[in-house]
């Protein structure tokens, strides 16, 4: 059995797989991050439901990013702690591969995006070839304007992610050249398709760090201090 965690956005999700089949799933979403309070509760509920412990797992797999600094830090530190305590391997999967893709047909191009605030997104392009998804670009930070992704425009190019409404607005008149899927969050259930692929990597529990892509920048507090 493999426990999967995806915490890179405001969606906090966990899924349990056995021989490629989804056994159970838990998720919570909020405008403020609930990961610190709820992630361990979701994991515990799922393990209790199936009467297993961490030591019964084949591995724990975590979405490695990019995404929210807070969400990634909590998800990865939780996965590392459980792996260390249970003496099980730690695996990672790119978060931009954790969107639902079952509905796409052969030859489809999917631009996966995650909100990076303001007019910026984290983006990566995937293609379905011979029934297998593969990356066509590296993960990048993109300031979106009407000319973004112009080299990938086609009637089989989809944009999926947690901020597609923002992307559609910034693409302006060129938005109609893509098929834009309504806002959707990366999800632990969708890690299944990559568990047996080259994109699933075994990591060193002691030294693994999330893939932030950008340096963390602390925002100035808006509180008024006396």
- Does residue 39 belong to any structural domain of this protein? yes
The answer to whether residues 7 and 88 belong to one domain is yes
- pLDDT score recorded for residue 215: 59
The answer to whether residues 72 and 115 belong to one domain is no
Domain count, the chain: 2
Residue 225 confidence class, pLDDT cut points 50, 70, 90: very low
The answer to whether residues 19 and 49 belong to one domain is yes
- pLDDT score recorded for residue 218: 44
Pairing of strands 120-129, 132-135: antiparallel
User: What is d(CA 152, CA 203) in angstroms, rounded to the nearest whole number?
Assistant: 33
Q: Which residues, other chains included, contact 220 with Cβ-Cβ below 8 Å and sequence gap of 6+?
A: none
The answer to whether residues 17 and 65 belong to one domain is yes
The answer to whether residues 9 and 83 belong to one domain is yes
pLDDT, tens digit, for every residue of 176-209? Answer: 999 999 999 999 999 999 999 999 999 999 999 9
Which region among 1-15, 29-43, 47-61, 81-95 has the lowest average model confidence (pLDDT)? Answer: 29-43
The answer to whether residues 105 and 176 belong to one domain is yes
pLDDT, tens digit, for every residue of 77-132? Answer: 999 999 999 999 999 999 999 998 878 989 999 999 999 989 999 999 999 998 89
Contact 115, 121 (CB under 8 A): yes
pTM attached to this predicted model: 0.91
Range of the domain at 54: 2-96+186-203
- Does residue 226 belong to any structural domain of this protein? no
CATH code assigned at 24: 3.30.420.40
User: What is d(CA 142, CA 154) in angstroms, rounded to the nearest whole number?
Assistant: 19
Query: Quick one: CA torsion of 174, 178, 182, 185, rounded to 10 degrees?
Result: -110
């Amino acid at each position: 059995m493999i426990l999967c965690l995806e915490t890179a956005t405001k969606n906090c999700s966990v899924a349990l797989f056995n021989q490629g089949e989804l056994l159970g799933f838990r998720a919570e979403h909020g405008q403020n991050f609930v990961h610190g309070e709820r992630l361990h509760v979701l994991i515990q509920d799922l393990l209790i439901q199936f009467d297993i412990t961490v030591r019964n797992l084949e591995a724990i797999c975590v979405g490695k990013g990019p995404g929210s600094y807070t969400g990634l830090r909590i998800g990865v530190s939780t996965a590392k702690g459980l792996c260390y305590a249970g003496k099980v391997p730690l695996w990672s999967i790119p978060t931009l591969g954790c969107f639902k893709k079952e509905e796409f047909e052969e030859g489809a191009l999917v631009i996966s995006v995650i909100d990076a605030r303001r007019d910026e997104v984290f983006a990566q392009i995937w293609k379905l070839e011979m029934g297998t998804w593969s990356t066509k670009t590296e993960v990048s930070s993109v300031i979106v304007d009407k000319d973004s992704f112009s080299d990938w425009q086609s009637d089989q190019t989809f944009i999926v992610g947690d901020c597609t409404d923002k992307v559609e607005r910034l693409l302006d008149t060129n938005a109609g050249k893509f098929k834009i899927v309504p806002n959707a969050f990366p999800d632990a259930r969708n890690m299944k398709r990559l568990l047996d692929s080259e994109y699933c990597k075994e990591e060193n529990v002691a030294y693994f760090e999330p893939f932030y892509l950008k340096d963390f920048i602390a925002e100035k507090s808006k509180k008024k201090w006396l």
